[in-house]
Amino acid sequence: MEKLIIHGGRRLEGRVKISGAKNAVLPIIAATLLGQDTVSLLDEVPALEDVTTITEVLNRLGVEAAFDAEKHQLRVDARRIGSCEAPYDLVRKMRASFLIMGPLLARCGKAKISLPGGCAIGTRPIDLHLKGFEALGAKIEIGHGFIEASAPEGLKGTRIYLDFPSVGATENILMAASMAEGQTILENPAQEPEIVDLANYLNVMGAKIRGAGTNVIKIDGAPKLVGAAAMTQGDIYVENAISEHLKPVIAKLKEAGVTIEEDVDGIRVRCDKKTKAVDIKTMPYPGFPTDMQAQFMAMLTISEGTGCVTETVFENRFMHVDELKRMGANIRIDGRTSVVEGVDKLTGCQVKATDLRAGAAMVLAGLVAEGETQVGYIHHIDRGYDDLVGKLVGLGADIQRVDR
Ligand code: UD1
């Protein structure tokens, strides 16, 4: 089994080029299914397991999709879709596969998808996605581990209110409504940066979406969308976008005593002393992102003082707490809040990546821990981080990947 071996205690310095974000690229890849006349070509696609998985999903739909991980390019020819059924063996690997349902419904008038799997960070229902499809006129049936949706007459624009601003439901509804007849008004949608990225991409394909990134999105259905070439995360774009997208994270880092300088090329992060404890509470964007909660908790374990981490988005996202405690962290869970009392040092030991972001947290803990840390179950990390080891080594970390 592959592991990461980290020798902690090194100061990290230098420059690192950030790869495209997983959560931005996956919905854009799903959107290529809407491209009818021309082939879609995506550049700067990060080399992630989840990208490979969704590419396989597209191939299983009879679409020609090829990912060149070295060149970071993905080519999708969805002019013909051979099948509207996504099997369990692929969907269970990655919950985001469910994002093909909206485009399939729009393109083929039907879709049959195995109930999704993914990270075990909560029950993660899909009721909001399904409510959206139903509002657009689709009929939904659930049984034998599959969800079947059909709209033989096509989808019709309507007004939809989301009870919770779900990222995935917003994306699925945007894609389905892009080809629906008439106008769809989506109220209380997610406002995450990846929603804006997806809407921009759909608009390049010929969709008419306004208001992405705000609390009302208007979509005027177009009868046909076409494949498009796009930089999912071009250099300048990613670098400019970062500070804006990371506002809550940067604010909390500053509060913790970290020096942050933002310029046109990116963000400089400096810290020469122990960080101070801060409280965080996860919220939909522009609140503090749940996907940074575990990494922040790793920082709090060795900060000065006591910090509270409250998770409001997912109900079971504290699995990294036990792993951090094995390294000597002082953490107490009280319902949806973890109380983290800073300790002088963490000590290296064997730990596991309990999910994707928890994996990143264990690596961070390993980088500061005394002695050797071995992180197992790193397939979780591979799902969402492009060459994490290479990037850290470039910054001076002592980390390697071994197979033992
Ligand atoms: C996306 C991200 C994930 C991130 C999460 C929240 C991708 C591929 N994944 O996941 O990394 O942690 O946003 O920022 O982009 N919910 C319902 N009903 C639904 C859908 C969601 O009740 O139909 C609830 C979930 O149980 C959860 C909350 O809404 O408590 C947030 O989920 P959602 O925003 O949908 O997250 P994902 O799109 O799955």
214-268: per-residue pLDDT in tens?
999 999 998 888 766 542 222 222 344 467 788 899 999 999 998 888 877 788 8
d(CA 85, CA 97): 11
Question: Is the domain of 315 the same as that of 362?
Answer: yes
Q: Is the C-beta atom of 125 inside 6 A of ligand 1?
A: yes
Q: For residue 382, which amino acid is it? A: D
Ligand 1 center from residue 168 Cα (angstroms): 6
Q: Is the CB of 313 under 6 A from ligand 1?
A: yes
Q: Which atom of ligand 1 is nearest to the CA of 130?
A: 23
Report which protein residue has its CA nearest ligand 1's atom 20: 126
Domain residues for the domain of 222 are: 22-231
Give the chain's domain count.
2
Residue 161 and residue 308 share a domain: no
Residues 253 and 212 in one domain: no
CA of 97 to the centre of ligand 1 (A): 13
Same domain, 102 and 220: yes
Question: 119 catalytic, yes or no?
Answer: yes
Model pLDDT, residue 238 = 32
Atom of ligand 1 nearest to the CA of 357: 11
Of 191, 215, 231, the position where a domain reaches its end is 231
Cα separation of the two ends of the chain: 5
- pTM for the full predicted model: 0.86
Does ligand 1 come within 6 angstroms of the Cβ of 97? no
Our answer on whether the CB atom of 193 is closer than 6 Å to any ligand 1 atom is no
Q: Are residues 222 and 263 in the same domain?
A: no
| Same domain as 309, residue 249 | yes
Considering the domain architecture, whether residues 190 and 255 belong to the same structural domain is answered as: no
Residues 189 and 337 in one domain: no
Atom of ligand 1 nearest to the CA of 123: 26
pLDDT tens, per residue, the chain with 404 residues: 899 999 998 878 777 788 888 999 999 999 999 999 888 999 999 999 999 999 999 999 999 999 999 999 999 999 999 999 988 888 888 888 899 999 999 999 999 998 875 445 455 688 999 999 999 999 999 888 889 999 989 999 999 999 999 999 999 999 999 999 999 999 999 999 999 999 999 998 999 999 999 999 999 998 888 766 542 222 222 344 467 788 899 999 999 998 888 877 788 888 888 899 999 999 999 999 999 999 999 999 999 999 999 999 998 899 999 999 999 999 999 999 999 999 999 999 999 999 999 999 999 999 999 999 999 999 999 999 999 999 888 888 899 999 98
pLDDT digits 0-9 by tens, 5-60? 999 988 787 777 888 889 999 999 999 999 998 889 999 999 999 999 999 999 99
Q: Among residues 336, 313, 316, 337, which one has the least CA distance to residue 164? A: 313
Q: What is the DSSP letter of 214?
A: S
Give the residue from 213, 231, 249 where a domain finishes: 231
352: CATH: 3.65.10.10
Closest CA to 85 of 62, 52, 51: 62
Structure tokens at 168: 């995935």
Residues 39 and 145 in one domain: yes
Q: Give the gyration radius of the chain's Cα atoms.
A: 21
Say what the pLDDT of residue 231 is: 26
Q: Does ligand 1 come within 6 angstroms of the Cβ of 23?
A: yes
Q: How far is the CA of 96 from the centre of ligand 1 (A)?
A: 10
Query: Nearest Cα to 172, choosing from 117, 130, 203, 201?
Result: 130
Q: Domain boundary at 231, 263, 293, which?
A: 231
